[in-house]
């Protein structure tokens, strides 16, 4: 299934589509978090918080926004705050 369709389904509450979107960025998100904090536990906390935030605000996904950008940008914002 293409990314646009997955985003559309995820915004309508399809948990499986959301999981598929997140699975494409899991490793990148963790690596990005770890590169900022240099601590495995802190990176995992940021990773989990970012996925939770993406899930709870998934109605803010828009079709033009790639799922690769949303978790990383919100994760980086979390790190910097």
Domain containing residue 53: CATH number = 1.10.1740.10
> So what's the pLDDT on residue 39?
96
CA distance 7 to 63: 6
Q: Dihedral of CA 57/69/80/52: which sign?
A: positive
Distance CA 72, CA 1 (A): 22
Q: How many domains does the chain have?
A: 1
List the helix and strand counts (H, then E) for the chain. 5, 0
Give pLDDT tens digits for 53-62: 888 876 554 4
pLDDT digits (tens, 9 = 90+) for 4-30: 898 888 888 899 998 998 898 899 999
Per-residue confidence (pLDDT) for residue 64, from 0 to 100: 44
State yes or no: pLDDT of 63 exceeds 50.
Answer: no
Q: Residue 9 is part of which domain span?
A: 3-80
Place of tokens 């960025």: 25
List CB contacts of 23: < 8 A, sequence separation 6 or more.
Answer: none
Residue 42's pLDDT is 95
């Amino acid at each position: 299934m293409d990314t646009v369709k997955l985003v559309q389904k995820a915004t309508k509450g399809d948990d499986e589509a959301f999981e598929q979107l997140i699975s494409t960025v899991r490793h990148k998100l963790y690596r990005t978090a770890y590169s900022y904090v240099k601590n495995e536990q802190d990176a995992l906390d940021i990773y989990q918080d970012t996925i939770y935030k993406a899930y709870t605000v998934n109605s803010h996904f828009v079709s033009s926004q790639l799922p690769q950008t949303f978790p990383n940008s919100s994760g980086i914002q979390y790190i910097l705050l």
